[in-house]
Structures are given as C-alpha cells and as structure tokens.
Structure 1
Amino acid sequence: MERGETMIVAGIGCRKDCPAEDILALLREAMADAGIESIDLLASADLKANEAGLAQAAAALGLPLRLFSQPALEAVTASISMRSACVKRLTGLESVAEAAALAGAGFGARLIVPRIANARATCALAHGA
C-alpha cells in the first residue's frame, strides 16, 4: 500500500465449522454493497483461530488473516453500529465482524459496510489510513 492509500479490512464473524464458501459469498456481497473490488485484510476474533473456513477464505483470496484479542476488540466498541446480545452471550463481545474490521483498519477507522449476515457468518467492512 502506498502512503495516503486507504486500507480496507473485512471483519468476519462465523459460527463453528462455517464453510469458506459461506464467508466468501458474504464478503462478495459486502464488497458489492461498498462498490469495491478488493480488500487488504481479513480480520476476526482470536477465539476463531481454529476455524478452518476462515483460514481457507483468507487463503482463497490471497489475503492475510489477523486475529484480535478480546481487549483489542472491546477497545473499538464505541464505534460499532450493531450490537448483538446473542454474540455477547456466546463470545463476551458485542460485535465480532464490525469490531474486527475497525480494529484491523486501525486508528481513525470507519465502517463502510455495517454488519451483514447470512445463516453462518457475518461481515463488515472498514477503512482506515
């Protein structure tokens, strides 16, 4: 990335054993919603470290996958637009997809696509410098 370019991060949340195809389909939908053709990073919560579908989706796209700790995701909670009581009960976080996108995009990040979902995954896009 050149100096001054915007970094676009896809934050992904998913159910246990979510297939890569579900993640990729949702990501394509989010990118179409934003009118973008590429992203720079996939991000999620470190509690998803053993999700093969998430790693496979990143590999299929040729993108790095960065996993964030609960404290790192909680640090951006004020900037998320959607909170889920179910996600909070299961993970201790109010958001995985939006928080991961914001954490991955760094200081001053903003959501460009708030959380969207299919049956097994969630996705949000954020950009930052």
Structure 2
Amino acid sequence: MLSLSKHAGAALPLLLAACSSSSEPPPVAAGDEHIACAVGGSAKLADVCAVERSEKNGKLTLIVHHPDGAFRRFDVMTDGSGLTVADGAEPAQTKLVDGKLDVTVGPDRYVFPVTTKAPAVHGNAG
C-alpha cells in the first residue's frame, strides 16, 4: 500500500506536465473573418482574432474570439462613433489610425477595418 501511494504521487507531476504541455492555445482563433489583435498585454499585432457578427433588433454586435478561447463583445454604434464594449466594466478607447479603427480595452488591442459613409450632398440642382 505504501509503494502504491509513492508511485501515484510520482505519476501526478508527470500527468500534470502532460496536460499543461498539450493545452497551448491554437495560434489563430477559429472563424472565417479575422482581425489584427494583441491580447493579454502582448505588444505584437497579428491577424489571429476571429470576428463573429450578431444582429438583434437592428443592433449589430461583434464578438471577437481570442486564440485562447476568450472573447469580447462590442456593440456597433449607429451614430458612426465606432464601438462600445457590450459587457464588462472597462470602457473601450477608440481612435482612427490609417483608415482603421484601433480599439483598446484593458490589456487587449484590436484593429477593425472601417467602412466610412460618404457625406451627404445637400444643394439644389437647378
């Protein structure tokens, strides 16, 4: 009985090591559409976050999936001001950079493509 517990105790660290080495996150989140992101405090932007779109009652929400399985939800503002965090306590800091929307929430940063609307032309044609 004593030797069994001794062997079981020796095997436990090996099992834990095997589990932790195989649980590395995939390099890219699963999905069809990807954006550049730097998550978990990383400074390096890479096209590894997947974007899922969900529309309910005319309100568009973007769900950004991180490679490690985490995700963040953003509501698209209808007034053209960009995105807001749909859940969580930290606000999004947004800015336009080189024609893209750069969004930072806590340690995470995302770069979204932007579609700009042409300004309305007002005037008389006559």
TM-score of the aligned structures, taking structure 1 as reference length: 0.29
Q: Which has the higher contact order (CA 8 A, sep 6+)?
A: 1
Q: Which structure is higher in strand share?
A: 2
